[in-house]
């Protein structure tokens, strides 16, 4: 009994809030209403009180009642204003109640009744949405919908023959025809624009953004176009001011930097055979002359090479030809196209699963892997259970996945890490250098480098030590290059014999900051930059705030915070007026002065 009391108390408290001054209560499975003093004003004799959506409220001293699984209207004097003949009843926010009624054995329609129970909108619609003094209504025939607008007495405002109608602010409607074009209508049903708009936003500060294709414009409440739809993005601020962003314009230039073609799109990415193009949220491809290859309909295009493209559709990737023929189905979480090979990833049980295919969609690998690297011209590095191996171009695992990592390789040898140690194997997995604790570097078929406790050890595979040093040691062709702490450079042949020695002539606090380019290398002295030659002689005085390397006979220099270019004779060729510059390549450099551009060697 106590449990029943607690449940009933909770029920009272909940609905006294929702019902304001009235309380909905239950007794013996029936519902009634009490006033704020607890006096019963509607006896508990109904299956439900309130509305068919489960809410309870009083609208103009009226609420709904349910009996025999149907709804009617009742007032707070317990007088039934209608019979219980409706399948649903719910208030619209005004003095109309939207009702649903069984018309015949197969038809259920919606209409409206007022607070006296009188039918104001006949029961002939499949849906009604009341908006102020108007209602958007629709009928359904099969899978086809027809929309219109009526007043609350059922009079037609906008005929019931449109594909869709939606409110776009007070007293204005967007109306869509069968061709998916929209027009602006007033609350009186007057057509304010033609059906030329793709879509229209709600009004804000008496202005709405209209969309035509990828472009946007602005229309006012009278249907007048204040801003033509020529912009990629438009924003309206709280003061009604309009900010517009133009469409990105792309210019195709020849080698002389003369424009030969233009186009407009959000994003343009070069590919070996043309461009990946993005407009809005969709991607497509163009050829080198901006002509469409793949339509701009895909969720993403990851790669496009030749007549193949990796595209995304419904969150999955597939491989297609440029004529839209599907080579590999849209079932992968990632696809990487690389030359004649295709690597695919599927996430299975939360883990990546990679496979190797050819460009015809034929699977090459016999098993799946945690990862498959790019083809390095000889093999693919693969990994399973955290261990590395090698897959050949035909999909055969030629080196088992038992190594910590594959470090490096040459034509005949592979440097590996195995159980935390380092060694060298051949491609048949024979050990040429058994695992040992020190890192190794492949040199050639007869030699390798070992780095042990800060010492470089140059050895052959018979374990003969040929040369060693604590200084930095690198391989350049068939020579070893050693750099001593004072900057002296030594060349040592593979027999361990020093064949040349070059000591830079550096004085006071001069510090070399770059390698040699076109016979000159950059230095800094006393906080200023200049250049010396390969004999250490100062050729360009240290008088610049910054420098770049010499390329094509010119080097970038910084004077008073701006960049320009000098030649090897320390003559200013291009005046320092740029925020940033690059080195010259193919006779041009990229420069920035607010925006980016090109300059040639004449400036």
At residue 335, the pLDDT reads 97
Give the HSE-up count for residue 177: Cα atoms under 13 Å, Cβ half-sphere.
13
At residue 569, the pLDDT reads 86
Decide: 227 and 218 in contact? Cβ < 8 Å. Answer: yes
* 261: in domain: no
**Residue 60: partners with Cβ closer than 8 Å, 6 or more residues away:** 95, 115
Q: Are residues 587 and 524 in the same domain?
A: yes
pTM of the predicted model as reported, rounded to 2 decimal places: 0.60
* 559: in domain: yes
- Please give the Cα distance from 548 to 35 (Å, whole number): 88
Q: Are residues 586 and 525 in the same domain?
A: yes
Q: For tokens 């590919």, what's the residue? A: 271
Q: Are residues 417 and 498 in the same domain?
A: yes
459: enclosing H helix or E strand: strand 455-460
Task: Name the burial class of residue 223, with classes exposed (0-12), middle (13-18) and buried (19+) by CB atoms within 10 angstroms of its CB.
Answer: middle
DSSP bridge partners of 330: none
Q: Are residues 488 and 411 in the same domain?
A: yes
At residue 507, the pLDDT reads 54
Q: Are residues 491 and 411 in the same domain?
A: yes
For residue 131, give the nearest of 109, 110, 150, 153 by alpha carbon. 150
- Please give the Cα distance from 49 to 406 (Å, whole number): 75
* 542: in domain: yes
At residue 90, the pLDDT reads 94
* 479: in domain: yes
Q: Are residues 414 and 461 in the same domain?
A: yes
* 149: in domain: no
Q: Are residues 428 and 495 in the same domain?
A: yes
- Please give the Cα distance from 337 to 309 (Å, whole number): 8
* 5: in domain: no
How is residue 312 written in tokens? 């995304």
- Please give the Cα distance from 416 to 430 (Å, whole number): 12
Chain mean position to CA 257: 32
Boundary (domain end) residue, out of 247, 273, 308? 247
- CATH number reported for the structural domain that contains residue 482 in this entry: 2.40.10.480
Q: Are residues 494 and 523 in the same domain?
A: no
Q: Are residues 440 and 423 in the same domain?
A: yes
Decide: 361 and 372 in contact? Cβ < 8 Å. Answer: no
At residue 300, the pLDDT reads 96
For residue 329, give the nearest of 342, 338, 339, 316 by alpha carbon. 316
Q: Are residues 222 and 205 in the same domain?
A: yes
Query: Domain range holding 460?
Result: 404-503
* 41: in domain: no
Q: Are residues 519 and 556 in the same domain?
A: yes
Boundary (domain end) residue, out of 480, 503, 526? 503
Q: Are residues 516 and 426 in the same domain?
A: no
* DSSP states of 443-455: -SSSEEEEEETTE
The number of domains in the chain is 3
Tell me the per-residue pLDDT of 173-208, one tens digit each, with 9 for 90 and over: 999 999 999 999 999 999 999 999 999 999 999 999
* 215: in domain: yes
Regions of the chain with pLDDT less than 70:
1-20, 486, 503-508
Tell me the per-residue pLDDT of 117-159, one tens digit each, with 9 for 90 and over: 999 999 999 999 999 999 999 999 888 999 999 999 999 999 9
498: enclosing H helix or E strand: strand 498-502
Boundary (domain end) residue, out of 212, 247, 282? 247
- Please give the Cα distance from 164 to 151 (Å, whole number): 17
């Amino acid at each position: 009994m106590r449990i029943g009391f607690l449940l009933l108390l909770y029920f009272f408290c909940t609905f006294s809030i929702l019902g304001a001054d009235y309380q909905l209560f239950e007794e013996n499975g029936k519902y009634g209403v009490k006033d704020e003093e607890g006096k019963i004003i509607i006896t508990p004799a109904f299956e439900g009180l309130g509305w068919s959506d489960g809410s309870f409220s009083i609208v103009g001293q009226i609420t709904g009642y349910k009996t025999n699984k149907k709804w009617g209207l009742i007032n707070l004097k317990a007088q039934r204003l209608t019979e219980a003949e409706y399948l649903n009843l719910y208030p619209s926010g005004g003095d109309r109640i939207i009702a649903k009624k069984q018309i015949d054995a197969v038809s259920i329609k919606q209409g409206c009744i007022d607070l006296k129970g009188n039918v104001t909108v006949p029961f002939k619609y499949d849906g009604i949405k009341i908006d102020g003094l108007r209602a958007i209504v629709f009928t359904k025939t099969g899978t086809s919908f027809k929309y219109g607008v009526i007043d609350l007495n059922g009079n037609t405002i906008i005929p019931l023959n449109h594909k869709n109608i939606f409110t776009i602010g007070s007293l204005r409607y967007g109306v869509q025809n069968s061709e998916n074009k929209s027009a602006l209508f007033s609350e009186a049903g007057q057509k304010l624009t033609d059906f030329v708009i793709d879509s229209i936003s709600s009004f804000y500060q008496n202005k709405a953004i209209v969309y035509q294709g990828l472009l946007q414009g602005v229309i006012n409440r009278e249907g007048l176009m204040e801003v033509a739809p020529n912009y990629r993005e438009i924003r309206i601020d709280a003061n009604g001011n309009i900010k517009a962003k133009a469409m990105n314009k792309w210019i195709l230039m020849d080698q002389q930097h003369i424009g030969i073609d233009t186009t407009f799109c959000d994003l343009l990415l070069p590919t070996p055979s043309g461009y990946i193009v993005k407009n809005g949220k969709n991607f497509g491809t163009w050829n080198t002359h901006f002509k469409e290859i793949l339509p701009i309909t895909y969720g993403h295009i990851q790669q496009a090479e030749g007549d193949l493209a990796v595209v995304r559709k419904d969150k999955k990737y597939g491989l297609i030809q440029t004529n839209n023929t599907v080579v590999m189905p849209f079932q992968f979480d990632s696809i990487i196209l690389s030359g004649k090979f295709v690597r695919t990833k599927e996430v299975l049980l939360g883990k990546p699963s990679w496979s190797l295919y050819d460009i015809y969609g034929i699977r090459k690998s016999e098993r799946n892997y945690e990862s498959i690297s790019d083809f390095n011209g000889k093999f693919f590095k693969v990994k399973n259970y955290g261990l590395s191996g090698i897959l050949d171009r035909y999909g055969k695992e030629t080196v088992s996945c038992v190594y910590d990592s594959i470090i490096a390789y040459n034509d005949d040898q592979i440097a590996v890490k195995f159980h935390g140690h380092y060694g060298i194997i051949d491609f048949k997995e024979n050990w040429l250098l058994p695992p040992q604790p020190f890192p190794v570097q492949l040199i050639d078929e007869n030699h390798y480098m070992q780095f042990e406790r800060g010492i470089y050890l140059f050895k052959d595979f018979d374990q003969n030590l040929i040369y060693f040093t604590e200084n930095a040691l690198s391989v350049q062709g068939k020579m070893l290059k050693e750099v001593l702490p004072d900057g002296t450079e030594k060349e040592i042949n593979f027999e361990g014999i020093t064949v040349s020695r070059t000591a830079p002539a550096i004085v006071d606090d001069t510090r070399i900051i770059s390698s040699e380019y076109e016979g000159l290398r950059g230095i800094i002295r006393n906080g200023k930059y200049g250049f010396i030659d390969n004999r250490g002689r100062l050729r360009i005085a240290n008088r610049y705030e910054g420098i770049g390397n010499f390329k094509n006979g010119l080097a970038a220099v910084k004077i008073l915070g701006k960049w320009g270019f000098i030649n090897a004779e320390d003559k200013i060729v291009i005046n320092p007026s740029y925020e940033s510059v690059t080195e010259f390549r193919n006779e041009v450099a990229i420069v920035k002065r607010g925006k980016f551009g090109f300059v040639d060697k004449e400036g």
